[in-house]
Structure 1
Amino acid sequence: MFARLMHWVMAAMVLAMLFIGVIMVASLANYHLLLAIHRPLGIAILVFVIVRFGYRLTHRPPKHPPTMHPVDHLAAMVSEYLLYTLLFVQPLIGWATLSSAGVPVQLFGAVRLPPIAPQSTAVYSVLRESHVVLAYLLFLVFVAHLCGVLFHTVVLRDGILDRMAFWRMSPVTSAPSGRAAPAAERTPTP
């Protein structure tokens, strides 16, 4: 239950962060307000990903459906670890970017984070560009992850969403072709 809750809270935070990032780039109208949300949300994502990764090290994730092809399994594993890496690195780079610009990372009220990078225009330039490039990569990996889940849920109907859903769908039973049985042929759960 804890892993599922963390999964969906982080998904919501990442979606919010992606939308905020796009709006910050596209419009200067509410830039300072969005930035005031962007900074603490980035640090919250960093804390959540550390907690979630620690939990993942001590608890095995739910198994993939037996009908899942080994290539799909590898793609899912790679996308999950890439998401973990990006969600860990991206907030750190954002924090370092502000540190190199001499701007304190103010979370709430007087709570500020210490600088983690030297104050330097050259360092700032590299970090800012890295933050933007990794944001695009994070968006692409997030969308690929979502598309994979949708493909398995809607097209293959193999119960992949059950791994992280709060509800219980029908258990997967094997069809003669090796793919998941259609929903009508699955046995209902009590």
Structure 2
Amino acid sequence: MNAPVDSFHPLLRLLHGLMAVLVIAMLFLGVTMVASVDGSQPQLVGWHKQLGLALLVLLSARLLVRAFTARPALPASVTPWQRRAAGAVHLALYGLLLGQILVGWAMQGAADYPLRFALWRIPALVGADPDLYGILRCAHGWIAYGLFALILVHAAAALVHGLLRRDGVWTSMWRLRQGGKRPGNTRR
């Protein structure tokens, strides 16, 4: 059994920060490229695809690090329903992120667009199918709305813990170096 810790592993905190920036950038880039009517749309789409695949790599790394590192206990002031809600929001964020990336990847195959990540050609998840492309494109948009809503909930909860409650939840993710040990064994 791992000894209790008072902050997340530094690599997990780094991945959290990188992913937060990329996910927010992706949401705004997605809205911009869909609304774009000038010649910048192909470049925006290219960036969106590359960032989406980079997010898949980061998400995979994050899930691995999360599986093998200790996580700090939530403070006793967090009620059971809040613990369940926090767990559900985290699970939904991971699920929607993975789903969004996979739907975007499948969408490219359905549109018969080649997908590349850096120098590698990425195999299509599905064959060319215009009808499937339409369904996947719609799903991609709705998942983005869901992600945006969950990000707002997650950020609001983090701000409540950091600014109002000051109970250590915020600093467990954002302190610059890992602190000492703290009693407790409830994992997030």
TM-score (norm 2): 0.84
Contact preservation (8 Å) 2:162, 2:171: no
Is 2:95 aligned against 1:82? no
Q: 1:70 matched to which residue of 2?
A: 80
Q: Return the letter of the residue paired with 1:114.
A: P
User: How far, CA to CA, are the matches of 1:100 and 1:48 in structure 2?
Assistant: 25
Q: 2:69 matched to which residue of 1?
A: 59
Residue 87 of structure 2 aligns to a residue in which SS?
helix
User: How far, CA to CA, are the matches of 1:27 and 1:151 in structure 2?
Assistant: 36
Is 2:22 aligned against 1:10? no
Q: CA deviation at 1:148?
A: 0.7
Is 2:164 aligned against 1:155? yes
Q: 1:21 matched to which residue of 2?
A: 30
The match for 1:124 among 133, 139, 152 is 133
Is 2:100 aligned against 1:100? no
Q: How high is the sequence identity, in percent, across the aligned residues? A: 35
Q: CA deviation at 1:111?
A: 2.5
User: Which structure 2 residues correspond to residues 12-51 of structure 1 after superposition, within 5 A?
Assistant: 12-29=21-38, 30-51=40-61
Give deviations 1:63-96, integer Å, cap 9, x for gaps: 2122212222111111111111111111111010
User: How far, CA to CA, are the matches of 1:28 and 1:68 in structure 2?
Assistant: 48
RCO (CA 8 Å, sep 6+): is it higher in 1 or 2?
2
- Which structure would you say has the larger Rg? 1
Q: Return the letter of the residue paired with 1:98.
A: Q
Q: CA deviation at 1:31?
A: 1.2
- Structure 1 gap segments, 5+ residues each: 172-190
Cα RMSD of the aligned pairs, angstroms, is 1.8
User: How far, CA to CA, are the matches of 2:46 and 2:19 in structure 1?
Assistant: 19
Give deviations 1:134-175, integer Å, cap 9, x for gaps: 01101111111001111121122222111211337x99xxxx
Q: 1:164 matched to which residue of 2?
A: 173
Contact preservation (8 Å) 1:64, 1:163: no
Q: CA deviation at 1:60?
A: 2.8
TM-score (norm 1): 0.83
Number of matched pairs:
169
User: How far, CA to CA, are the matches of 2:72 and 2:21 in structure 1?
Assistant: 21
Residue 174 of structure 2 aligns to a residue in which SS?
coil
Q: CA deviation at 1:106?
A: 2.3
Contact preservation (8 Å) 1:17, 1:38: yes
